[in-house]
Chains A and B, each alone.
Chain A
Amino acid sequence: MRVALFLTCVNDTLYPDTGRAVVKLLTRLGVDVDFPMAQTCCGQAHYNTGYRHQAEPMARHFSDVFGGYEAIVTPSGSCGAMVRELYPRMGERARAEGRGDTLAATLAPVVPKTYELTEFLVDVLGVTDVGAYYPHTVTYHPTCHGLRSLGLGDRPRRLLQSVKGLELKELPGADECCGFGGTFAVKNSDVSAAMGADKVRNAESTGADVLCAADNSCLMHIGGTMTRLRTDMRPVHIAEILASTEEETHA
C-alpha cells in the first residue's frame, strides 16, 4: 500500500521527530510511505481565524498535491479534521455563494482518503499492537478535534495499551480542551493559559512521566506550560511512542 504522509506545516517546521517516527512506524508495518515535497499547509489556521477565502487556495493546493494517492495519513487530529470536516463545508459555502460546484469537486477526492494516524492504524491496517516498546508511565490527552470532529474514540488508547512496558494512567478531565485553539492561545491568552495550567495539573495528578497526544500543536501549548510550571513531565507525540522499539531502547 502506498500512502502519502501529510505531515502538517507545524510538524514539518517544528517537530520533525514526529514525522520521522511516522515514517519508521508505517514502514515497519509494511506500508510504502511517500512525502510529497510540494505539500504545505491545509489552511486550518486561516479558516478558523475567519480567512476562509484565503484558506481556499491552500485547500486546492492540498488536493493537487495529495489527490493521486490511495490514502493520506496525518499525525494530527486537527489537520485531519480540517480536510475531512471543513473541506466539504468550504465547498458547500462556495456553492451557496453562487460559485458553483468547482471547489467542492476539486476538494472531494481527498476528503474520504485522509486518515489521522491512529485511525489509519486501527481501521485501515487493522492493527492495535504495532510492536512497540516504551517503558514509561503515560497519560493520554485526547485532543478536541480528534475526539469530537473525527471521533477517534478509544483507538489511541487501544494502541497505547498494546505497547510493551507502557503503563497507561487515566487523565482526569481528559475530554476538556487544553486551551490551545490556534489563534485563540494568542487572542485570549489569559483564558488559554488558565486552561493549559489546569490540564497540566490534572496530568501531574496521574503521576505519569509522559503526557501523550496525537497533535503537536496541543502538545506545544501543554509542553510550554509544563516548562513554565516546572513540572517533570514530558509531552510526547503518540507516533513517537508507537515507533519506539525494544531493540532501540536497549541499544
Chain B
Amino acid sequence: MSGGTFVGMPSFPKAAHEAVHNQTLRGNLRHATHTIRAKRANAVAEVSDWAELREAGKQIKDHTLRHLDRYLVQLEESVTAAGGTVHWAADADEANRIVTYLVKATGESEVVKVKSMATQEIGLNEALEAEGINAYETDLAELIVQLGKDRPSHILVPAIHRNRGEIRDIFAREMSEWGRPAPEGLTDTPAELAEAARVHLREKFLRAKVGVSGANFMVAETGTLVVVESEGNGRMCLTLPETLISVVGIEKIVPTWQDLEVFLQTLPRSSTAERMNPYTSTWTGTTDEDGPQTFHLVLIDNGRTDTLADEVGRQALRCIRCSACLNVCPVYERAGGHAYGSVYPGPIGAILSPQLRGTQSEIDASLPYASSLCGACYDVCPVAIDIPEVLVHLRERVVEGGVVTRDGAKVVLKPAKGHAAERAAMRAARWAFGHPGALRTGQRFASRTRRFHPRTLPGPGKAWSETRALPAVPAEPFRDWWQRTHGGKDASK
C-alpha cells in the first residue's frame, strides 16, 4: 500500500514538463488554488492586526530556533514528567527504526495515522510496510492518495491534483482491498464520497491499538503537543488507541502555551482560510484511564540542525506548513506538486528540500530555480519567510559551491555540474558590463548585423523561441542616439 518514492527524481524542469501539458491536472490545480487563494485573502483581510501577528510569529520562531538546544531539553523534561517517553532520531532511518520497534513492542501489525508531514518526510509508511506493519492514513485526502497508490502533491490538500470523478473511481476500485468496500453505485457527489470514507475509516479507528501522529506545535514549558485539523479523524487517532507515537521535527517547538495564541490565529486563516479550524487537539503525556496509556515522542533532526547552521537559509525552519505559498505560486499551479520530488512541494519545498537533503541530487540542485522570484510566496507567508531570498542564496550554493554544514560538520561544496557554460556567460557579461566601451561595441555590432539575426535560437534558447518570438535588435542602441542628440551634455562619460 505504499506510495511512490522520490529516489532518482529528474530535475524540476523535466518533471514539470509532463504536468504543464496535462490539461486535467492543470484545470484541477488552477481551480483549487484560485479558490483557496481568494478565500485566504478574505480571511486575512478580516484581521486588523495581521501584520503584527505575522511579525510576532516570526519573532517567536526565530527566538526558539536561536535557543533550540535549551527548549528541546525543557520539552524532554516536561514530556517525561507528564508520563511520556522521548526518543531522539538523527535521520530518517533512525526515526523509522525507533517507530518500527515501538509498534512491534505492542504486538500490533497495524496503526492508524494522523496526517503528518514528518512521517511522510522520513517515509515511515514504507518502512513499516517493509516490516509487515500496515499504516492506515485517516485524513480524507491522504486516504485518497494512499488508496490511489499515488504521492501527495500539496502540503495541506495532498490530493489537490485529483478531481471528484477520479476520487470516486479510486474509492470504488480500492477500498475493498483494505477494509470496508465503497457502497454500490457510489457517485461523485462530495457528501457521498465523504460518507464512504467515513464508514471505511470508522472501522479502522475502533480497531486500532496504536496511533501515529505528527504535531503542528510542541510547547516546551508544558510538554504539550498540538494537532490542528479539520476533519476530526486526528482526534480519533489521538484518543482511541492504547499507544500513541508522535513523530515531530525538532523545529516545531514553541516556548510557552501563550505563544500558541499567535499561531492558532495565523495558521487556519493562512491554510484553509478558516477563522478557526474545527479541531484543535492537545495532549500532554498520559492520563490514567483517559486516552492512550503509553505515549512516545520521536524527535527528528533529519537535516534540521544543518539547516539551522545556515544564517540565510535557516528561516525556512520557521515554516508552520500552512501551504499558503503553494496556493499563490504560479509555478506550483502549472507544474503540480509531484515535480518538486519531495513531500514539501511549492515554494517552501523549493527551499526546504535542498537544505534538508543537500543540493547533490539532480532534483535538489534544480529546485532553487523552480521560481520566477515573483515574491507572491513571501507576501502571504504568515511567518514572513523571505522565500525568494533563500532561493537566490541556494542558487549561489549550486553554482558557486562553498562551505555548508552536513551532519554537523563543515564541508566545502564544489559548484554543481552543468553550469559551466552559464558561468562562462555570466563572467563574460560581467566583463563587458565592467567595460562600457566593450558593451557599446557589442551593441553596435548587434545593430549592424540585425538583418542576419536568426528568428529562432539553438541550444538553451531553443525553447524560448519556440513559444516566444525574439525581440528585434534596434538599428541604434539608446546610447548612440543619446550621444548623437545630446552629445557633450553629459559630463560623466
Residues of A within 8 A of B (CB): 7, 9, 11-17, 19-20, 23, 34-41, 43, 45-55, 57-58, 61, 65, 68, 89, 93, 96, 144-145, 148-149, 175-177, 179-197, 220-221, 223-225, 227-228
B358 contacts chain A at the CB level, 8 A cutoff: no
The one of A13, A38, A49, A185 in contact with B426, judged by C-beta atoms closer than 8 angstroms, is A49
Contact with A193, one of B12, B463, B471, B492 (Cβ below 8 angstroms): B463
Given A16-B478, A144-B372, A227-B469: A191 touches B335 (CB 8 Å cut-off): yes
Is the beta-carbon distance between A57 and B486 smaller than 8 angstroms?
Answer: no
Question: Are A190 and B17 in touch, CB under 8 angstroms?
Answer: yes
Which residue of A46, A47, A195 contacts B372 across the interface (Cβ within 8 Å)? A195
The answer to whether A220 and B471 touch (CB under 8 A), given A16-B476, A40-B439, is yes
B165 at the interface (CB under 8 A from A): no
Q: Is the CB of A184 within 8 A of B371?
A: yes
- Besides A46-B426, A223-B471, 18 other CB < 8 A contacts? A13-B473, A40-B433, A47-B392, A49-B395, A49-B399, A51-B426, A51-B430, A148-B378, A182-B373, A188-B372, A190-B20, A191-B370, A193-B463, A193-B468, A195-B330, A195-B331, A225-B467, A228-B467
- B490 in contact with A34 (CB, 8 Å): yes
Cα separation A16 to B473 with both chains bound (whole Å): 10
B101: interface (CB < 8 Å): no
Q: Are A40 and B464 in contact (CB under 8 A)?
A: no
Interface residues in B466-491 (C-beta closer than 8 Å to A) = 466-471, 473-474, 476-479, 481-483, 486, 489-491
**CB of B427 closer than 8 Å to a CB of A:** yes
Category for how many chain B residues contact A: 35 or more
* Contact among A13, A47, A197, A227 for B446, CB-based, below 8 A: A13
Q: Is the CB of A175 within 8 A of B376?
A: yes
Q: Could you write out 8 A-B pairs with CB less than 8 Å apart?
A: A9-B433, A13-B478, A40-B439, A41-B429, A58-B434, A144-B374, A185-B372, A190-B17
**CA–CA, A197 and B333, complex, Å:** 14
Which residues in chain B, 357-401, are within 8 Å of chain A measured between CB atoms?
Answer: 368-376, 378-379, 389, 392, 394-400
Give the residue name and chain of the A residue nearest to B467 (CB): A193
Smallest CB–CB gap between A43 and chain B, Å?
A: 8
Q: Decide: A65 and B492 in contact? CB cutoff 8 A.
A: yes
Q: Give the distance to chain B from A54, nearest Cβ to Cβ, in Å.
A: 5
Closest 5 A/B residue pairs (Cβ): A181-B372, A50-B395, A224-B468, A37-B493, A189-B463
Any A CB within 8 A of the CB of B46 = no
The reply on B461 being an interface residue by CB < 8 A is yes
Q: State the main secondary structure of chain B at its contact with A.
A: helix
**Dominant secondary structure of chain A at its interface with chain B:** helix
User: What is the CB-to-nearest-CB distance from B11 to chain A, in angstroms, rounded to a whole number?
Assistant: 9
Nearest opposing residue in chain B for A186, CB measure: B460
Q: Are A191 and B463 in contact (CB under 8 A)?
A: no
Distance between B384 CB and nearest chain A CB, rounded to angstroms: 13
Contact A177 B374 (CB under 8 A): yes
Q: Mark B333-358, 1 if CB is under 8 A from A, else 0.
A: 01100000000000000000000000
Closest to B491 in A: A34
Nearest-Cβ distance from residue A11 to partner chain B, whole angstroms: 7
Say whether B471 contacts A14, CB under 8 Å. yes
Chain A residue numbers with a CB within 8 Å of B369 are: 183-184, 187-188
Compute how far the CA of A177 lies from the CA of B377 in the bound complex, rounded to whole angstroms: 12
List the B side residues contacting A176 at CB < 8 Å. 330, 374, 376
Q: Do B469 and A186 have beta carbons less than 8 Å apart?
A: no
Query: By CB atoms of chain A within 10 A, which of B12, B486, B492 has the most?
Result: B492
- Judge whether B375 and A144 touch: CB under 8 Å: yes
Could you tell me the distance between the alpha carbons of A41 and B369 in the complex, rounded to whole angstroms?
22
Knowing A16-B477, A50-B392, A221-B468, the reply to whether A40 touches B16 (Cβ < 8 A) is: no
- A149 contacts B433, CB within 8 Å? no
User: What residues of chain A lie closer than 8 Å to B335, measured between beta carbons?
Assistant: 191
Q: Which residue of A lies closest to B492 (CB)?
A: A36
Select A51's contact among B26, B331, B423, B491, beta carbons within 8 Å: B423
B13 contacts A by Cβ under 8 Å: yes
Of chain B, the residue at the smallest CB distance from A47 is B392
Structural contact, B492 and A58, CB atoms closer than 8 A: no
B394: chain A residues at CB < 8 Å are 50
* Chain B residues within 8 Å of A182, by CB: 372-373
A37 to B489, CA, bound (A): 11
Specify the chain A residue showing the minimal Cβ separation from B329: A177
Complex Cα gap A49–B330 (Å):
19
B302 interface residue per 8 A CB criterion: no
Whether B311 sits at the interface, judged by CB under 8 Å, is yes
Q: What chain A residues lie within 8 Å of B474 (beta carbons)?
A: 14-17
| Pairwise interchain contact B468-A34, C-beta atoms closer than 8 A | no
C-alpha gap A190/B471 in the complex (Å): 19
Cα-based distance from A179 to B372 in the complex (angstroms):
6
Which residues of A sit under 8 angstroms from B312, Cβ to Cβ?
Answer: 93
Chain A CB within 8 A of B443 CB: yes
Does B422 lie at the interface of the complex (its beta carbon under 8 Å from any beta carbon of A)?
yes
For residue A20, which residues in chain B have a CB less than 8 angstroms away from its CB?
478, 481
Q: How far is the CA of A148 from the CA of B379 in the complex (A)?
A: 8
Q: How far does the alpha carbon of A156 sit from the alpha carbon of B26 in the complex, in Å?
A: 32
Whether B477 and A144, one on each chain, are in contact in the complex, defined by CB atoms closer than 8 angstroms, is no
Residue A37 contacts which of B17, B392, B479 (CB distance < 8 angstroms)?
B479
Contacts A190-B20, A224-B470: A13 and B493 contacting too (C-beta < 8 A)? Answer: no
Determine the distance from Cα of A65 to Cα of B395 in the docked complex, in whole angstroms. Answer: 29
Closest chain B residue to A143, Cβ basis: B374
- CB of B436 closer than 8 Å to a CB of A: yes
Q: Which residue of B lies closest to A197 (CB)?
A: B467
CB of A165, distance to nearest CB on chain B (Å): 27
Is the beta-carbon distance between B478 and A190 smaller than 8 angstroms?
no
CB–CB B426/A54 < 8 A: yes
Q: Which residues of A contact B433 (CB under 8 A)?
A: 9, 40-41, 43, 58, 61
Question: Bound state CA distance, A148 and B381, in angstroms?
Answer: 13
Q: Are B396 and A50 in contact (CB under 8 A)?
A: yes
Q: Could you tell me the distance in whole angstroms from the C-beta of A73 to the nearest C-beta in chain B?
A: 14
